[in-house]
Chains A and B, each alone.
Chain A
């Protein structure tokens, strides 16, 4: 369970990147954070990961405060960021240095199979396509069995077809162990397809404008009217946040897990 309390980040030059974010995400939830540029969504994710430090407020994972990168929190970046001098399997096993060789090999092979790249273990990153690289990056984050997985616009650099493919794939993998997923994206369709809750942020300063539930049943049909409705709702929320000043609004929905 991820709990964010009054989180804020102000840079030394005075820019307020994120202001007063309070949020509770239950175990196994998929939450998507959307918003235009400058709204602070990536900064927020980095604060959750421990790679950046907040100026005010706290982040807690299962009761432990996050003060730096934490074993229970994995992160997938926008670029695959694979280490070019390591093979695919060594990249995936990068965070498993504390395990025995045998156990490491087992885990890596299992997760390789899970992302559909069993035969690619001894390849070099330069031999992979964009989609394959990102799958390896996801595998690398998952192999450490984090309880929270953060993804910062993981599919934005891929073409539309690969993107949908990987979105479905992510969902599939999530079904295995149901980690908490926090997904930053600018793709509304992606947010609606994956998330159970969508956090809409607005910029200057970056803050939460609206948190709404996506009540569609899984598996979700991207072509259905209900799907479109949800998309439209979020789009209009984004429009509103861009156009006027707004206060925090929450759509009435199932009770937020405490």
Chain B
């Protein structure tokens, strides 16, 4: 074979065709997904125990679990979880309602779209996090500004999701509704709403994920309780184990809430083509 690696026709031994590694999500990858972190955690634990590694900056699992346990016992963990959860859920509710209503209005009525959408698209260009100082100026440093930040973070994915879904509704299906002489109201209720449901659920889950992100950001600025507060407090007191414990809790809550949301909405999406269904 030419030394420079260039492609050249050459009579050489038959080449075995590449067999693509199977990409199926089998039990192997689920197992690996569980094993690898556990093995690494154990390895790190051992390294710290035997003095090979410094467990101060990157605490070993035992210290982290210890911290979690202490927080739970004193009831502190519960207080912080409750505070953060309250902010996430209120902000999610507010952002969802606003996003759904405005998205529906803009999607359904051409005039509304012309008037409202350009401004919203422009506002969207500003990363939601940049709203924090303005909200603090407007609403103060307490709950209102935090919930508003979460709401703004949730608003945009929901608004865009509803709008996009409405604009891409299958006109042929709408025509079936017209052929059966449905009133405008019946058309919305019996055809438009069900057909945007899948995209809406996707938007809801995306919004919820963003809500968790923004609540942390909100709690960075002047919170006295909450998981985000635990993060900042951990940094200020030089307790990385507290930071990791808070991150862990927060990740678990995020996954849990997403799972809950998809379970709650699943019955409404039973009819979906399994190829399309997002799990």
Contact = CB atoms under 8 A, between A and B. Distances in A.
Interface string B258-277: 00000000000011111000
A81 B172 contact: yes
Contacts of A125: 271
A97 to B, nearest CB: 8
Interface in A80-96: 81, 83-87, 94-95
B50 to A, nearest CB: 58
A83 B179 contact: no
Contact of A124 (B178, B181, B271): B271
Given A84-B272, A85-B194, A126-B273, A51 B179 contact: yes
B172 A83 contact: no
A79 B180 contact: no
Contacts of A126: 271-274
Of B176, B190, B191, B197, the most chain A CB neighbours within 10 A belong to B176
A68 interface: yes
A51 B171 CA distance: 13
A84 B172 contact: no
A85 B197 CA distance: 10
Of B175, B180, B272, the most chain A CB neighbours within 10 A belong to B180
Contacts of B257: none
Contacts of B195: 83-85
Given A79-B172, A83-B173, A84-B272, A51 B178 contact: yes
A64 to B, nearest CB: 14
A68 B271 contact: no
Nearest to A68: B181
Contacts of B272: 84, 126
Main secondary structure of the interface of A (DSSP, over half): loop
Interface stretch (A19-27, A69-77, A170-178, A231-239): A69-77
A95 B186 CA distance: 12
Contacts of A69: 178-181
A12 B273 CA distance: 39
A180 interface: no
Contacts of B179: 49, 51, 69, 75
Nearest to A95: B180
Nearest to A73: B179
A94 B271 contact: no
B191 to A, nearest CB: 7
Nearest to B176: A81
Nearest to A137: B176
A7 B63 CA distance: 84
Taking residues whose C-beta sits less than 8 angstroms from the other chain, chain B's interface range is 10 to 19
Contacts of B172: 77, 79, 81
Contacts of B191: 83
Contact of A94 (B180, B270, B274): B180
Of A49, A83, A125, the most chain B CB neighbours within 10 A belong to A83
A69 B195 CA distance: 22
A133 B246 CA distance: 53
Contacts of B173: 81, 83
A206 B270 CA distance: 45
A159 B207 CA distance: 44
Given A81-B173, A83-B191, A85-B194, A71 B181 contact: yes
B180 A85 contact: no
Interface string A193-209: 00000000000000000
B175 A51 contact: yes
Nearest to A83: B173
Interface string A122-133: 001110000000
A234 to B, nearest CB: 29
Contacts of B271: 84-87, 124-126
A83 B176 CA distance: 9
Interface string B147-189: 0000000000000000000000000110110111100000000
12 contacts: A51-B179, A69-B178, A83-B173, A83-B194, A84-B272, A85-B195, A85-B197, A94-B180, A95-B180, A126-B271, A126-B272, A126-B273
Given A81-B175, A85-B195, 18 more contacts: A49-B179, A51-B179, A68-B181, A69-B178, A69-B179, A69-B181, A70-B181, A77-B172, A79-B172, A83-B176, A84-B271, A85-B194, A87-B271, A94-B176, A94-B190, A126-B271, A126-B273, A126-B274
Which 6 pairs of residues, A with B, have the shortest CB-CB distance? A85-B194, A95-B180, A126-B273, A85-B271, A124-B271, A69-B181
